[in-house]
């Protein structure tokens, strides 16, 4: 199968969140399933630098939303890339979505409409790459930034199948309806069964209404999206399309996150006993003293979605039992300041910012990882925790519910528990879970069993790649 993956970010080239990890991991994971995937990315400075001088031009546009553009084909980071080199849209330093003022770039609608339009033209016309014809049988669209692909594909006369993956329905690509003509879209589609969203134009809704198949990144999140409290105003759309919706769990890169070979940590390990030297090294690095309770970590964006305001309120339940917290993250300024204040406690250490190597050391050296998200489409940090025998404490939502086996009495009796879940997502249930964590940590045999279970849990892409390939085949057959 020939598949074009369309994404606004892709690890390791450019990343702001889990979307990039998925876009970067899928091509290699799907190769074993007989899928030939090329990834279409915007030509941001980092992507252009990684592409280097070996790329060849395979298409050109004289005027793509305000300036000329080239489509380049090349290779970087083990990926077969198609890169939309449109300097007037993408040659900007800093955040790929936000300007220097911290607000969305005002031309984001045009920037990602251009990406969608180029994908549609590839689907309709095909390309000649290295002297060989190449046209996708299916276009895999990721999030709102590729939401207009199905509409443009119809306009361009393309007949390939389309799949849209929702990584986070909270981001919908909204803009004023005055942009419809500017983006080359039919005003006849500006209605409730098209791309109209409460008087605005929604790129995500456009894709949700027109893609042949829909996916999201966990089975539980797929079910949650049909409920008003999770659907962000699109729950009706999700209910209407429930037969076309699949929840396929994300996986992690098991090479980059391998405790036996991880170059970032104090000592590689294949079993929980290897955690002790990493814990000692982490405490020294973060300035934490020895303590009898569990050392817990957070590696996260600091936002309300992630429930970290609740963690601040529930933190005494951990500290009063001799537990500790080491946090790495950035985001909401008020939360950053609140965690800095919390770090005045001897048993709390905080680093504001992002540091990939430190994130590995935190997860390898901590006893537990805390993920108290109000909603979480899939989540990756709990999977990293499982891989390293770092017990996840998670809210019962989305992919967190699908990947962690709660330490209920039945699960402990059967010897299968891998972590702790709490519900509802509020201060008191989280405090109870932290207290329970300390109880389990004080039982060495139970704790060691949970760590061993966690490290055996499958967290890679094998089964998910199989599910994506089956979905692609189904969509192509039906198109």
Residue 354 has pLDDT above 90, yes or no: no
What mean pLDDT comes out for the span 177-199?
Answer: 96
φ, ψ (nearest 5 deg) of residue 402 = -85, -15
Query: Looking at residue 281, what DSSP letter applies?
Result: H
What mean pLDDT comes out for the span 371-399?
Answer: 97
Which pLDDT value is given to residue 315?
Answer: 98
Q: Which residues contact 101 (CB under 8 A, 6 or more apart)?
A: none
Residue 118 has pLDDT above 90, yes or no: yes
Which pLDDT value is given to residue 93?
Answer: 87
What mean pLDDT comes out for the span 104-129?
Answer: 98
Residue 43 has pLDDT above 90, yes or no: yes
Query: What band does 268 get if pLDDT is binned at 50, 70 and 90?
Result: confident
What mean pLDDT comes out for the span 340-365?
Answer: 96
Comparing C-alpha atoms, which of 384, 401, 392 is closest to residue 420?
392
How many Å separate Cα 59 from the centre of its chain?
Answer: 30
C-alpha R_g of the chain: 23
User: Looking at the domain that runs over 272-456, which CATH code has it been given?
Assistant: 3.40.50.2000
Which pLDDT value is given to residue 136?
Answer: 98
Residue 53 has pLDDT above 90, yes or no: no
Residue 18 has pLDDT above 90, yes or no: no
What mean pLDDT comes out for the span 7-33?
Answer: 93
More confident residue, 21 or 471: 471
Measured CA to CA, the distance from residue 393 to residue 69 in angstroms comes to 47
What mean pLDDT comes out for the span 199-219?
Answer: 98
Residue 474 has pLDDT above 90, yes or no: yes
Query: What band does 101 get if pLDDT is binned at 50, 70 and 90?
Result: confident
| Domain positions in the chain | 2-251+462-478, 272-456
- Residue 205 known to bind ligand: no
Residue 479 has pLDDT above 90, yes or no: no
How many Å separate Cα 83 from the centre of its chain?
Answer: 21
Query: What band does 50 get if pLDDT is binned at 50, 70 and 90?
Result: very high
φ, ψ (nearest 5 deg) of residue 97 = -110, -25
Which pLDDT value is given to residue 414?
Answer: 97
- Top CATH class of 2-251+462-478 equals alpha beta
427-453 residue pLDDT tens: 999 999 999 999 999 999 999 999 999
Q: Which residues contact 229 (CB under 8 A, 6 or more apart)?
A: none
Same fold flag, 2-251+462-478 and 272-456: yes
Q: In the structure encoding, which two tokens stand for residue 448, read together? A: 């060691």
More confident residue, 117 or 54: 117
Type and span of the H or E element at 465: helix 462-478
What mean pLDDT comes out for the span 116-123?
Answer: 98
Mean pLDDT score of the chain, rounded to an integer?
96
Residue 267 has pLDDT above 90, yes or no: no
Residue 278 has pLDDT above 90, yes or no: yes
Per-residue three-class SS string for 80-105: EEEEEECHHHHCCCCCCCECCCCCEC
């Amino acid at each position: 199968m020939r598949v074009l993956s369309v994404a606004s970010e892709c690890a390791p080239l450019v990343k702001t969140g889990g979307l990039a990890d998925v876009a970067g991991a899928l091509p290699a994971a799907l190769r074993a399933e007989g899928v030939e995937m090329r990834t279409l990315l915007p030509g941001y400075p980092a992507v252009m630098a990684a592409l280097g001088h070996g790329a060849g031009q395979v298409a050109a546009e004289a005027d793509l939303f305000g300036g000329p553009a080239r489509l380049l084909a090349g290779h970087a980071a083990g990926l077969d890339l198609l890169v939309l080199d449109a300097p007037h849209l993408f040659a900007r330093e800093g955040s790929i979505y936000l300007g220097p003022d911290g607000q969305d770039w005002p031309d984001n609608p045009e920037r990602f409409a251009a990406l969608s339009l180029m994908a549609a033209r590839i689907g309709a016309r095909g390309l000649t790459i290295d002297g060989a014809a190449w046209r996708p049988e299916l276009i895999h669209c990721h999030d709102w930034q590729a939401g207009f692909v199905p509409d443009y594909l119809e306009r361009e006369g393309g007949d390939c199948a389309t799949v849209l993956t929702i990584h986070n329905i909270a981001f919908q690509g909204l803009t004023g309806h005055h942009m419809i003509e500017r983006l080359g879209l039919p005003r006849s589609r500006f209605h409730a069964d098209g791309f109209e969203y409460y008087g605005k134009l929604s790129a995500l809704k456009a894709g949700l209404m027109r893609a042949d198949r829909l996916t999201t990144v966990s089975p539980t999140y797929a079910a949650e999206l049909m409920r008003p409290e999770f659907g962000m105003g699109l729950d009706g759309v999700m209910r209407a399309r429930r037969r076309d919706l699949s929840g396929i769990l994300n996986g992690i890169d098991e090479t980059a996150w391998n405790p036996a070979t991880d170059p970032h940590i104090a000592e590689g390990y294949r079993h929980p006993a290897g955690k002790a030297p990493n814990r000692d090294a982490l405490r020294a690095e973060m300035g934490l003293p020895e303590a009898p309770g569990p050392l817990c970590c957070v590696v996260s964006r600091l936002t309300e979605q992630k429930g970290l305001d609740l963690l601040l309120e529930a933190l005494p339940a951990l500290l009063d039992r001799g537990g500790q917290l080491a946090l790495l993250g950035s985001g909401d300024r008020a939360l950053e300041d609140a965690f800095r204040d919390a770090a005045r406690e001897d048993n709390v250490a905080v680093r504001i910012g992002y540091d990939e190597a430190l994130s590995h050391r935190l997860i390898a050296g901590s006893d537990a990882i805390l993920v108290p998200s109000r909603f979480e489409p899939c989540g990756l940090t709990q999977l990293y925790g499982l891989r390293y025998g770092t017990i996840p404490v998670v809210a019962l939502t989305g992919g967190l519910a699908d990947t962690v086996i709660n330490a209920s009495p039945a699960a402990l009796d059967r010897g299968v528990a891998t972590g702790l879940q709490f519900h509802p997502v509020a201060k008191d249930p989280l405090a109870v879970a932290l207290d329970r964590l300390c109880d389990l940590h004080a039982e060495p045999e139970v704790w060691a069993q949970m760590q061993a279970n966690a490290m055996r849990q499958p967290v890679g892409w094998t089964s998910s790649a199989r599910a994506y390939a089956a979905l692609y085949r189904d969509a192509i057959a039906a198109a």
